[in-house]
């Protein structure tokens, strides 16, 4: 079994993509509408690597953030 992705709910998908591309160095593998109110983007270092899934909704004000998320990233 392979660890595939981590999902993060974000309030601003474009700003989050900018962070993961320009600060972390990931690239978008795919971005798509997943229904009428949900948009998803998958980013990774290389195709086939573990991905970060960023997900947002039409009403991002209802997204609550937790302080208990931890992700380990290394070069």
Q: What string of pLDDT tens digits covers the 75 residues of the chain? A: 777 888 888 989 999 999 999 999 999 999 999 989 999 999 999 888 889 999 998 887 777 777 667 777 666
**In angstroms, rounded to a whole number, what is the distance separating the alpha carbons of residues 17 and 12?**
9
Domain containing residue 44: CATH number: 3.10.180.10
Return the pLDDT at 75.
Answer: 61
Residue 73 is assigned to a structural domain of this protein: no
Smallest CA-to-CA distance from 27 within 47, 9, 11, 13 is with 47
Domain that holds residue 9: 5-58
Q: What is the pLDDT of residue 3?
A: 78
Q: Dihedral (C-alpha) 10, 13, 15, 18: value to the nearest 10 degrees? A: 110
Answer yes or no: is 65 within a domain. no
1 CA to centre of own chain: 22
pLDDT of residue 74: 66
Domain assignment present for residue 12? The answer is: yes
| Residue 67 belongs to a domain | no
pTM for the whole thing?
A: 0.82
pLDDT at 13: 94
């Amino acid at each position: 079994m392979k660890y595939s992705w981590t999902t993060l709910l974000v309030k601003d998908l474009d700003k989050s993509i900018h962070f993961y591309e320009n600060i972390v160095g990931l690239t978008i593998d795919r971005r798509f509408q997943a229904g009428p109110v949900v948009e998803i983007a998958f980013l990774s270092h290389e195709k086939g690597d573990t991905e970060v899934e960023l997900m947002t909704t039409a009403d991002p004000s209802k997204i609550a953030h937790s302080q208990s998320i931890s992700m380990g990233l290394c070069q």
